[in-house]
C-alpha cells in the first residue's frame, strides 16, 4: 500500500535546523528557529515554572484523564490573562476556553470546528504569515487566501491595502489576525488601526480568529492584548488561539488554549458542546502536566509576579539585541538604515536580506536565517552578535 507514496516536501524551517546541526563550524549561529534563547544561548526553564513543577512533583498527583476541555483552573486562568480578570465577557459567561496542544492545536481545533459550522467559508491569512497557517487551514478543508499586510518599502504594514482587502471579503469569511508580534515580519498595527479593523470586520460580517502566540513579548501582558480588548468591547463573536510555548518557555509541553466568545452564556454552552466533539474525536483530552504548571503559576500571586518579571526579562533582552544589532551594523559602515529592526516587535525581524544574501550568510559564515530574510532576534546574544553583524555587513557589500 505504500509503494507509490511520494516523499512530502521538507518543512522549510525544520530543514534549516537539520542543516544547522550538520554544520561543523564552531562559529555557526542559528537565527532560523522561533525560540527564545538566553544570553548563554540556552532555552530557559523559568524559575516560576521550576517552582510550580517542584510542588507538583512533591504532591505526586494521580494521572487520571482530564475533562475533554482540560482543567477548569487552567481554562479560567487563560481567559483572565487574555481579557483581564474583571472582563464583562467573563462575568457574563460568554466565553469558553479549552486547553489545547499548543497554539497549533488551538488553531486546528478552531479550524475543524469552524469547518463544521461554515463549510463554505474562505480563510484569509496575512501576506506573509506564519508558514503553518495556510497548511493548517487547508488541512481543515478550507480554501485559504491572503490579505495584504507587509509593505517591503516601509518595512511596516500596508494598512490601506489590508483594509481594502478586508472590505472585499465575502460575508462570513474567516480572518486570521496576529494579535501581536506578527510572525514573520515583526510589524504590528497600532491600537487605532485595530479599531478600524474591528469596524470593517463588523461591517462585512467577518469572523475574526486572533492568533496570540506571543503575549507579553512586545510591551507586556495587558498592553499586548489591545486587539483582544477591542474585539471584546465590540460585541462581536470571535475566536482566539493562545500559547504558552514562548511566554512560559514550555515549547515541548504543548500548552495552549482555544477561546471562543459567543453572544450569551447559553450560546457559549452550545458552542462548547460542539467543540468538545471535535476534541473527543482527535485526541480525547489534553495532557496534564503543562497546563497544571501554568495554572499553578498564574493562580499564585508570588509565582505570577516571578513569571511576569522573567517574561519582562526576555522581552527586554530581545529589545537590547535589536538595538545592539542596529548599532553594530551602523558602526561597521553599513549604509542602509536598519533602524526598522528596533521598531519591529516580538521575536522576529524581517531584515530585507535577499534569498542570495541569506544563502551567502549560511555558506560563507554558518549564519542560518530563513530564505525570506526573517531572523530570530531572540537567538542573538552578546557572544554571537558581533560575528552576526560582521557576516551581515559582508553579505551586504
Ligand atoms: N501562531 C504563530 C503566529 C506562531 O508563531 C506559532 C509558533 N511559532 C504558533 C501559532 C504555534 O505555537 P505552538 O508552538 O504553541 O503550537
Residues 115, 106: Cα–Cα separation, whole Å: 14
Is 307 known to be catalytic?
Answer: no
**Could you tell me the end-to-end alpha-carbon distance of the chain, in angstroms, rounded to an integer?**
53
Query: What percent of the chain has pLDDT above 90?
Result: 96
Ligand 1 centre and the CA of 397: distance in Å? 34
pLDDT at position 10: 81
Q: Whose CA is nearest to atom 4 of ligand 1?
A: 213
Supply 106's cell numbers. 488551538
Ligand 1 centre and the CA of 108: distance in Å? 11
Query: What percent of the chain has pLDDT above 70?
Result: 100
pLDDT at position 159: 98
Which residue among 115, 246, 276, 328 is the active-site one?
246
Question: Which of 11, 32, 101, 102 is the best mutation target for the ligand 1 pocket, counting ligand atoms within 8 Å of the beta carbon and taking the most?
Answer: 102
* Burial (Cβ within 10 Å: 0-12, 13-18, ≥19) of residue 49: buried
Question: Which of 183, 213, 376 is the best mutation target for the ligand 1 pocket, counting ligand atoms within 8 Å of the beta carbon and taking the most?
Answer: 213
Q: What mean pLDDT do residues 300-309 have?
A: 98
Total residues belonging to the chain:
397
Residues 370, 212: Cα–Cα separation, whole Å: 22
Q: Whose CA is nearest to atom 6 of ligand 1?
A: 213
pLDDT tens digits, one per residue of 59-89: 999 999 999 999 999 999 999 999 999 999 9
What ipTM did this prediction achieve? 0.99
pLDDT at position 52: 98
HSE (side-chain half, CA atoms, 13 Å) at 103: 23
Residues 391, 11: Cα–Cα separation, whole Å: 26
* Burial (Cβ within 10 Å: 0-12, 13-18, ≥19) of residue 170: exposed
Supply 341's cell numbers. 529592526
Ligand 1 centre and the CA of 391: distance in Å? 29
Structural domains of the chain, ranges and CATH numbers in brackets: 12-45+304-396 (3.90.1150.10), 65-287 (3.40.640.10)
157 beta partners: 150
Residues 178, 190: Cα–Cα separation, whole Å: 12
pLDDT at position 15: 83
What sections of the chain are H helices per DSSP?
12-22, 47-59, 72-83, 88-91, 102-117, 131-139, 159-167, 191-203, 226-234, 265-280, 289-299, 301-331, 340-343, 355-365, 385-396
Ligand 1 centre and the CA of 212: distance in Å? 8
Neighbours of 12 (CB within 10 A): 12
Is 323 known to be catalytic?
Answer: no
pLDDT at position 392: 97
Q: Which of 146, 101, 385 is nearest to 244 (CA)?
A: 101
Residue 244 Cα: closest atom of ligand 1: 15
Residues 91, 322: Cα–Cα separation, whole Å: 40
Question: Which single residue is written with the C-alpha cell 490601506?
Answer: 160
Please give the mean pLDDT across all residues of the chain. 97
* Burial (Cβ within 10 Å: 0-12, 13-18, ≥19) of residue 146: middle
pLDDT tens digits, one per residue of 166-194: 999 999 999 999 999 999 999 999 999 99
pTM confidence score: 0.96
Helix (H, G, I), strand (E, B) or coil at 244: coil
Which residues have CB under 6 Å of ligand 1?
Answer: 34, 102-104, 130, 178, 183, 211, 213, 243, 245, 256
CA dihedral (173, 174, 178, 182) in degrees, to 10, reads -60
Question: What is the secondary structure of 126-192 as a DSSP string?
Answer: EES--HHHHHHHHHTT--EEEEE-EETTTTEE-HHHHHHHHHTSPTT-EEEEE-SS-TTT-----HH
pLDDT tens digits, one per residue of 109-168: 999 999 999 999 999 999 999 999 999 999 999 999 999 999 999 999 999 999 999 999
Amino acid at each position: 500500500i505504500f509503494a507509490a507514496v511520494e516523499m512530502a516536501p521538507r518543512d522549510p524551517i525544520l530543514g534549516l535546523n537539520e542543516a544547522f546541526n550538520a554544520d561543523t563550524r564552531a562559529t555557526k549561529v542559528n537565527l532560523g528557529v522561533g525560540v527564545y534563547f538566553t544570553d548563554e544561548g540556552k532555552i530557559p526553564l523559568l524559575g516560576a515554572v521550576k517552582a510550580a513543577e517542584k510542588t507538583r512533583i512533591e504532591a505526586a498527583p494521580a494521572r487520571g484523564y482530564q475533562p475533554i476541555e482540560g482543567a477548569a483552573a487552567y481554562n479560567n486562568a487563560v481567559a483572565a490573562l487574555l481579557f483581564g480578570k474583571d472582563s464583562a465577557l467573563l462575568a457574563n459567561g460568554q466565553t469558553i476556553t479549552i486547553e489545547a496542544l499548543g497554539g497549533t492545536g488551538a488553531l486546528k481545533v478552531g479550524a475543524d470546528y469552524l469547518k463544521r459550522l461554515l463549510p463554505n467559508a474562505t480563510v484569509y491569512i496575512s501576506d506573509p504569515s506564519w508558514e503553518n497557517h495556510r497548511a493548517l487551514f487547508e488541512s481543515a478543508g478550507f480554501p485559504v487566501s491572503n490579505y495584504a499586510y507587509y509593505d517591503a518599502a516601509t518595512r511596516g504594514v500596508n494598512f490601506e491595502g489590508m483594509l481594502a482587502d478586508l472590505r472585499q471579503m465575502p460575508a462570513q469569511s474567516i480572518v486570521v489576525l496576529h494579535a501581536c508580534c506578527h510572525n514573520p515580519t515583526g510589524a504590528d498595527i497600532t491600537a487605532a488601526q485595530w479599531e478600524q479593523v474591528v469596524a470593517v470586520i463588523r461591517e462585512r460580517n467577518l469572523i475574526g480568529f486572533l492568533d496570540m502566540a506571543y503575549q507579553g513579548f512586545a510591551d507586556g501582558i495587558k498592553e499586548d492584548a489591545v486587539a483582544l480588548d477591542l474585539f471584546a468591547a465590540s460585541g462581536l463573536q470571535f475566536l482566539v488561539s493562545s500559547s504558552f510555548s514562548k511566554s512560559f518557555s514550555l515549547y515541548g509541553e504543548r500548552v495552549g488554549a482555544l477561546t471562543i466568545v459567543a453572544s450569551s452564556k447559553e450560546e457559549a454552552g452550545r458552542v462548547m458542546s460542539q467543540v468538545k466533539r471535535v476534541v473527543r474525536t482527535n485526541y480525547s483530552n489534553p495532557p496534564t502536566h503543562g497546563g497544571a504548571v501554568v495554572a499553578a503559576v498564574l493562580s499564585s500571586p508570588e509565582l505570577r509576579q516571578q513569571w511576569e518579571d522573567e517574561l519582562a526579562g526576555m522581552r527586554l533582552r530581545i529589545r537590547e539585541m535589536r538595538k545592539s544589532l542596529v548599532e553594530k551594523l551602523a558602526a561597521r559602515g553599513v549604509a542602509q538604515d536598519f533602524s526598522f529592526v528596533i521598531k519591529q516587535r516580538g521575536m522576529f525581524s524581517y531584515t530585507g536580506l535577499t534569498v542570495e544574501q541569506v544563502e551567502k550568510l549560511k555558506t560563507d559564515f554558518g549564519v542560518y536565517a530563513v530564505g525570506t530574510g526573517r531572523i530570530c532576534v531572540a537567538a542573538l546574544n552578546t557572544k554571537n552578535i558581533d560575528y552576526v553583524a560582521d557576516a551581515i555587513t559582508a553579505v551586504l557589500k
